[in-house]
Amino acid sequence: MPEDSTTLVLGVDLGGTKILTAVIDPQGKMLSRDHSVTPARKGREAVVESILESTHRALARANISVGSLTAVGIGAPGLVDPVAGMVLTSPHLPGWRNVPLRDLVEERLGKQAFLINDANAAALGELHFGAARGARNFIYVTVSTGIGGGIVIDGELYSGATGAAGEVGHMTIDDTGPPCNCGNRGCWETLASGTALAREARQRIEAGDRTSILEYAGGDTAKVTAQAIHSAAIKGDRLARELITRTGYYIGVGLANLINIFNPELIVIGGGLSNIGDILLQPAFKVAGERAYRETFSAVRFASAGLGRDSGVLGAAAFALRAMRQLPCEQGDETELL
């Protein structure tokens, strides 16, 4: 069991489909972790209860009590106001509007909590413990069920006027494109996410295209996923490879926009869809190079998320540690943490 003097925080990565909790120290070491399903459609109380249940399992696995925690850091999807501690709205949590998630967790656990957008949390995780260590100007992009992002400028997370900056998945790529859960049309995530890839595959299959994708979806069109498409592509399926390349094209368009706007030194790419690898990312980088200014594209490098699926939970913990002034600054960095 850790000594009482050890600073430990609980990181919570809340997603539309999963909850990941972990007990973490200031060096980014995870003493325990727990993974569970988000009961998103059952409402906010059910989600909060699931967070608490996951928390207690993680604490038990680390052999510590709630009292041993310094704080709790929570990463949540959607528009988040870190100052008010509210999830303003979230396309991945139906019915959530102005939910005081930070206060709800604080009241139940009796520990100070801090709330941040999940992609911003992942950016902090990569900054302190992952692929972006030492970077001053970088963008984290997660390509998964949706697309999110976190922006770091001069070594600090850029949060915008209300804490909602970094919603890169909702920049418009095609104003006549598919409708998005946010209410807009043609958002980046409606064209370049895992959800978009699966939707396009289902439409092509229903239109009569020949493909082996269905073999990896149990013969059910409704069960076609990005993973099934990837499996078919590995075996050389023409449609699967075409759809992944098309998705890579749209990823590249969005990356070009980010490169032209922010001129980053580094873009870190994470999220489940990015695990497809070169067949997806090489077309993306090619398109980004063709569409971005040559000078800004030549200055940027790309890296895979160094923390994998743990970027968000480690970043949520880092956010809490920063707020509690418990996270060591990088050598030579004397700026304020918040």
Both 301 and 254 in one domain: the answer is yes
If one counts every other C-beta atom within 10 angstroms of the C-beta of residue 163, the result is: 20
Position 324 in a domain: no
Q: What are the tokens at 252?
A: 């590249």
Both 176 and 262 in one domain: the answer is yes
**Residue showing tokens 């400028």:** 153
Position 126 in a domain: no
Both 29 and 98 in one domain: the answer is yes
What are the beta bridge partners of residue 287?
A: none
* Count of domains observed in the chain: 2
**Quick check: 74 and 327 in contact, CB under 8 A?**
no
Position 316 in a domain: no
Q: What is the dihedral sign for C-alpha 47, 17, 26, 117?
A: negative
How many secondary structure helices (H) and strands (E) does the chain include? 10, 13
Among the listed residues 321, 335, 311, the one whose alpha carbon sits nearest the alpha carbon of residue 133: 311
Q: Any alpha helices (H) in 93-152, and if so which ranges?
A: 101-109, 118-129
| Model pLDDT, residue 333 | 40
Position 22 in a domain: yes
**Residue showing tokens 């049309």:** 185
For residue 41, the domain's CATH number is 3.30.420.40
**Mean pLDDT value of segment 238-249:** 98
Both 220 and 286 in one domain: the answer is yes
Helix (H, G, I), strand (E, B) or coil at 337: coil
Task: Report the side by side order of strands in the sheet with 18-24.
Answer: 30-37, 18-24, 9-14, 71-76, 113-117
Position 292 in a domain: yes
Q: State which residues form the domain around 184.
A: 131-305
Position 312 in a domain: no
Q: What is the mean pLDDT of the chain?
A: 93
* pLDDT above 70 (res 327): yes
Both 17 and 135 in one domain: the answer is no
**Quick check: 126 and 311 in contact, CB under 8 A?**
yes
Both 29 and 156 in one domain: the answer is no
| H or E element that contains 14 | strand 9-14
Position 28 in a domain: yes
Both 135 and 111 in one domain: the answer is no
Position 14 in a domain: yes
Domain limit, last residue, from 117, 146, 180: 117
Q: pLDDT tens digit string along 125-146?
A: 999 999 999 999 999 999 998 8
Both 94 and 142 in one domain: the answer is no
CA distance 176 to 169: 16
| Model pLDDT, residue 166 | 93
Lowest mean pLDDT among 102-106, 240-244, 252-256, 271-275: 271-275
If one counts every other C-beta atom within 10 angstroms of the C-beta of residue 109, the result is: 19
Both 112 and 199 in one domain: the answer is no
Both 18 and 59 in one domain: the answer is yes
Q: pLDDT tens digit string along 256-289?
A: 999 999 999 999 999 999 999 999 999 999 999 9
| Model pLDDT, residue 314 | 97
